[in-house]
Structure 1
């Protein structure tokens, strides 16, 4: 492993993630928060829910009750007046359903004088859920979508029609109380109705789109699920104010600043990356090959969210696959490619992403790993672990997509 490049990569990751933590973003959004004089209740859902709720209660001083539902391992302590729950992601589980019931119970019987502070971040689609069909079937449909390679927008168009809280239905449950929603975006272009499937936003998608997606991916659906896909979601809500804060654009800008401070010339390729993870890795590797020999320190940055089409039963995540796929292209060069999820978790693993450099391919071969076979088996985690290529950050408390960087030191 190239220790200089790895040290630079770790510094860029650390600086980038620190820049998009939600604490300041939440406090900034609360400048526009004006409760009507009644009770103030807090509901937070998503991977960044605990961090957002902690910042909000600290800024407000107190709330009259609250529920946080976040991913396992993401609750970092008690918050005064707030019940903190952990649940399943990316597939909802019984704890997802139980925590959502607590949130719905909290907002029952409110008046027009009351306000619900709703803090939303990515991951909320799985974590914040009351299914309109058996929980086991919802879990199965979610798993089918994940395995098919469907993107996050397609998944949410389906999921919001199978839910009593998605697609604006949670805001309906809070009425006549006002809902003040602060959203940490994890979807490219920040479409509000798609972030965590838009529990407090009118839905812009249609039943026809949902049915087309079900057909596109050959989803195995019950008659009940097919009927739900044909029931339209709320198209207007009169009790919601929304502030969007934080996005992959900020993450990319922070990465560029960190690269610049280390002497690299940063080039932003895109902040809307949305292709197969292994294709993105191969592309970044090919950029390194093109620009080798120019005598400069260059950093190519791509933010967004790639997808993985499962063809094997190994362990890994999209960021790990992206990095591993770049290894053959940059072999022998004074270069590195790394990719990291801003939430600190990549797929069903304890890693945030993966790192490779010009020495990785040879190191893998020496330990019996073939990159192509490993990608076919979706086993990037074990391959990268064998060559110290995993990026471990732990839960970060934020969630604004991923950032991938190709570093070149000529």
Structure 2
């Protein structure tokens, strides 16, 4: 059986992963049954890069009355007739996100026990719901977001801090909906798919504390605005805890996650004739460290046939982090891929693609990039120094100069990072 060419196949794997997590496909099976509301109203709220597409899917599959508002990233809106779509900034929040968060809180005031709040949450919601606790300002939240993004903190650590500074996260949105029922549909972009870490858990109880948040701040040497430090040290930022009676009628359903995206890609690779090995859907750590480790594994497969025999594809997902040390244009996927390139040193049978399923790696409108055996050779011929680009966190600058970047535009979903390494078989030895 002849095998598909590496680079077109890698792109098909990425496209299959993205397609598997489209809200039009994964939201409808989880909607309430027709007629289940009785006399109650359906109020739709939400936030995240996929929230507008989720809202559109709700409208198309719900025949009864509804109203609502969701906030998504600039450029990620889709047309809706009954649910208002607001765009705001990500990853650093802005005034549009603040105003939208205030209006969402107003929408869920004075509800009855007959009403149902359908909350549509996907990755990116932490920045898109920046309503601060009393005593804090949007400028305070922006400063904390910037510091967290540059610190190298994991997504779980970042969201722990965010939950204790927010008027909506850490279960506060669900508490505000009481006594209405709350059904949250989650599109996961976090390792482990923990609801508390998807958009910082606006509708689920939070077992962490202000002291936990302070420990994270100390661990990463994050400078806090004075008002933020006061909120954490005083305990005024405590979130809604497990057992709170206001959350008794709140339910969550996971509608899409990184694992199903990896499995969709795996099916395409197998059909193309490659063995597939999923290394994990929750890989974390410094992006450049993960890239170096994956490069070592790829070389062992290519040169020793261990632990897998080529030809094969190695798939992984999760969310790496980047400790910003330079002034380059970077994202965690291109940083990981550039580190992999340096680790495999142009091995003739190793190809790779790394990209974010939402179409945005870091703060650039670039999803990621591809790597081939000639990547470093072409870079050196163009006068590029790959190690210098890595040191400056300039993965986008590097791959863009080579024409190897991946641009998708908004994909309208978000199931985190997608990494595929394709390892070809060695040519048969001559007789």
Match of 1:102 in 2: 103
Structure 2 distance, partners of 1:32, 1:345, is 35
Structure 1 distance, partners of 2:366, 2:178, is 41
Match of 1:377 in 2: 392
Do the aligned residues in 2 keep the contact of 1:116 with 1:178 (CA within 8 Å)? yes
Do the aligned residues in 1 keep the contact of 2:280 with 2:315 (CA within 8 Å)? yes
CA displacement, residues 146-165 of structure 1 (integer Å, 9 cap, x when unaligned): 10111111111111111100
Q: 1:336 aligns with which of 351, 356, 363?
A: 351
The equivalences for 1:104-119 within 5 A come to 104-119=105-120
Q: Which segments of 5 or more consecutive residues in structure 1 lack a partner in the other structure?
A: none
Match of 2:428 in 1: none
The equivalences for 1:230-309 within 5 A come to 230-231=235-236, 232-235=238-241, 236=244, 237-293=247-303, 294=305, 296-309=310-323
Match of 1:82 in 2: 83
Match of 2:410 in 1: 395
In structure 2, the residue corresponding to 1:80 is in which secondary structure?
Answer: coil
Task: Give 1:36 deviation, angstroms.
Answer: 4.4
Structure 2 distance, partners of 1:289, 1:168, is 45
Structure 2 distance, partners of 1:288, 1:120, is 36
The equivalences for 1:8-407 within 5 A come to 8-31=9-32, 34-77=36-79, 79-132=80-133, 133-229=136-232, 230-231=235-236, 232-235=238-241, 236=244, 237-293=247-303, 294=305, 296-328=310-342, 329-407=344-422
Do the aligned residues in 2 keep the contact of 1:22 with 1:398 (CA within 8 Å)? yes
Do the aligned residues in 2 keep the contact of 1:288 with 1:330 (CA within 8 Å)? no
Do the aligned residues in 2 keep the contact of 1:354 with 1:390 (CA within 8 Å)? yes
Structure 2 distance, partners of 1:147, 1:377, is 13
Match of 2:423 in 1: 408
Is the alpha carbon distance of 1:112 and 1:14 closer, same or farther for their aligned partners in structure 2, counting shifts above 3 Å? same
Structure 1 distance, partners of 2:64, 2:371, is 46
CA displacement, residues 221-267 of structure 1 (integer Å, 9 cap, x when unaligned): 23421232223211121231211121111111112112111111101
Deviates more, 1:217-226 or 1:113-122: 217-226
Do the aligned residues in 1 keep the contact of 2:16 with 2:261 (CA within 8 Å)? no
Task: Give 1:363 deviation, angstroms.
Answer: 0.5
Do the aligned residues in 1 keep the contact of 2:122 with 2:186 (CA within 8 Å)? yes
Structure 1 distance, partners of 2:397, 2:339, is 14
Structure 2 distance, partners of 1:320, 1:367, is 19
Do the aligned residues in 2 keep the contact of 1:165 with 1:199 (CA within 8 Å)? yes
Structure 1 distance, partners of 2:224, 2:396, is 32
Is the alpha carbon distance of 1:307 and 1:63 closer, same or farther for their aligned partners in structure 2, counting shifts above 3 Å? farther
Structure 2 distance, partners of 1:334, 1:180, is 48
1:6 and 2:7 aligned: yes
CA displacement, residues 92-125 of structure 1 (integer Å, 9 cap, x when unaligned): 1111101111212222222222111111111100
Deviates more, 1:349-358 or 1:106-115: 106-115
Structure 2 distance, partners of 1:203, 1:193, is 7
How high is the TM-score relative to the length of structure 1?
0.95
In structure 2, the residue corresponding to 1:150 is in which secondary structure?
Answer: coil
How high is the TM-score relative to the length of structure 2?
0.91
Structure 2 distance, partners of 1:249, 1:385, is 29
The 4+ residue runs of structure 1 with deviation greater than 3 A are 31-34, 293-296
Task: Give 1:4 deviation, angstroms.
Answer: 3.1
Question: What RMSD over aligned residues (CA atoms) do the two structures have, in Å?
Answer: 1.6
Do the aligned residues in 2 keep the contact of 1:330 with 1:357 (CA within 8 Å)? no
How many residues are matched?
A: 407
Q: Which segments of 5 or more consecutive residues in structure 2 lack a partner in the other structure?
A: 426-431
Deviates more, 1:196-205 or 1:58-67: 58-67
Do the aligned residues in 1 keep the contact of 2:130 with 2:141 (CA within 8 Å)? no
Task: Give 1:374 deviation, angstroms.
Answer: 0.1
